[in-house]
């Protein structure tokens, strides 16, 4: 295959993958009266900002709740997963392989099954329809993945660093806090990014555990636009566009850290 042909194939495939994003922006600028035009407008001929006005008027509280849930999920995930990854990578407790297998299996459990279990527990504990409850639920998705990432990354940290710290009189906790964590920046950024994305885009836990709360995430805010007889598609797509901006910025900023964090530990010397 020649280089021009490869370029053409790459451009076509990229256009196909990016078309849903373009269509989302197109619909967000389309008037309600033009939604069912046949054939549909490929560009917003009679563009409107009604959808974006609806976002400013109605969706800002939902976006704020999603931001709090995302940040809370990141903090809880890192606090739990970083020490666990350090223990599995450097302390090598008995049953470490079994623990890693359990973490892998935990990621295969469907979210709706976990949501049903959380619902019964939260109902008894009185934390249903609360932000802390949703943060805890979202963290259960992120923590197993995060522990595996931290374990793989920290396994590649030279033993000489930890041994030198121990010889100087540092405890295991001090070694983890002052030596391992600063070196694990790429893994921390990777874990934080994925945890935030999972929490930001979650709908199953949000609809099950926070469907009647006063502080709901943006995924439920979008869902509220969909009624039995009326779908405000420009408002839905405008909200989706606005909600995509923070995640896109984070992905661009953290791209090189994510690549380094995921591939760390994949190659052994």
pLDDT of residue 227: 65
Average pLDDT of the residues in 198-214: 89
pLDDT of residue 172: 86
Average pLDDT of the residues in 151-180: 87
pLDDT of residue 13: 94
Q: Which tokens sit at 243?
A: 């909600």
Residues 6+ apart with CB under 8 A from 123: none
Flag the least confident range among 8-12, 164-168, 205-209. Answer: 164-168
Q: Rounded to the nearest 5°, which phi and psi values hold at 58?
A: -120, -25
Residues 6+ apart with CB under 8 A from 221: 58, 59, 61, 62, 63, 239
Instruction: Give the gyration radius of the chain's Cα atoms.
Output: 23
Question: Given a cut of 80, is residue 158 above it in pLDDT?
Answer: yes
Query: Taking a C-beta distance cutoff of 8 angstroms, is the pair 119, 208 a contact?
Result: yes
Return the SS3 of 153: helix
pLDDT-based confidence at residue 203 (cuts at 50, 70, 90): very high
Average pLDDT of the residues in 122-129: 90
Question: Given a cut of 50, is residue 16 above it in pLDDT?
Answer: yes
Question: Given a cut of 80, is residue 267 above it in pLDDT?
Answer: no
- Domains in the chain, start-ordered, CATH in brackets? 1-48 (no CATH), 55-263 (1.10.3720.10)
pLDDT-based confidence at residue 171 (cuts at 50, 70, 90): confident
Average pLDDT of the residues in 25-44: 85
pLDDT of residue 4: 84
Question: Given a cut of 50, is residue 269 above it in pLDDT?
Answer: no
Peptide linkage before 39 cis (omega within 30 of 0): yes
pLDDT of residue 24: 92
pLDDT of residue 70: 95
Closest by CA position to 184, among listed 84, 82, 77: 82
Query: Taking a C-beta distance cutoff of 8 angstroms, is the pair 152, 264 a contact?
Result: yes
**pTM attached to this predicted model:** 0.85
Tell whether the torsion through CA atoms of 259, 262, 267 and 269 is positive or negative. positive
In tens, the pLDDT along 59-88 reads: 899 999 999 999 999 999 999 999 999 999
**Averaged confidence pLDDT in the chain:** 87
Rounded to whole angstroms, the Cα distance separating 164 from 156 reads 16
CA dihedral 128, 131, 137, 141 (to 10 degrees): 160
Burial group, residue 45, by CB count within 10 angstroms (0-12, 13-18, 19+): exposed
pLDDT-based confidence at residue 263 (cuts at 50, 70, 90): low
């Amino acid at each position: 295959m020649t280089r021009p042909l490869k370029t053409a194939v790459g451009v076509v495939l990229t256009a196909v993958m990016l078309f849903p994003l373009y269509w989302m922006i197109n619909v967000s600028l389309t008037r309600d009266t033009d939604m069912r035009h046949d054939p549909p407008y490929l560009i917003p001929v009679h563009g409107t900002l009604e959808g974006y006005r609806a976002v400013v008027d109605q969706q800002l509280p939902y976006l704020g709740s999603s931001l709090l849930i995302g940040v809370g999920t990141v903090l809880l995930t890192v606090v739990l997963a970083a020490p666990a990854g350090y223990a599995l990578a450097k302390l090598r407790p008995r049953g470490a392989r079994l623990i890693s297998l359990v973490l892998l299996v935990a990621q295969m459990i469907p979210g709706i099954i976990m949501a049903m279990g959380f619902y019964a527990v939260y109902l008894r504990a009185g934390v249903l329809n609360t932000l802390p409850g949703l943060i805890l639920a979202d963290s259960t998705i992120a923590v197993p993945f995060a522990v595996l990432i931290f374990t793989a990354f920290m396994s590649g940290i030279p033993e000489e660093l930890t041994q030198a710290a121990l010889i100087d009189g540092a405890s295991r906790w001090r070694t983890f806090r002052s030596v391992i964590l600063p070196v694990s920046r790429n893994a921390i950024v990777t874990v934080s990014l994925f945890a935030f994305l999972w929490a930001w885009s979650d709908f199953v836990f949000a609809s099950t555990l926070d469907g009647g709360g006063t502080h709901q995430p943006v995924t439920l805010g979008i869902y509220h636009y969909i009624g039995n007889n009326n779908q405000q598609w420009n408002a839905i797509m405008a909200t989706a566009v606005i909600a995509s901006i923070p995640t896109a910025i984070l992905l661009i900023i953290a791209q090189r850290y994510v690549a380094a964090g995921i591939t760390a530990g994949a190659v052994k010397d």
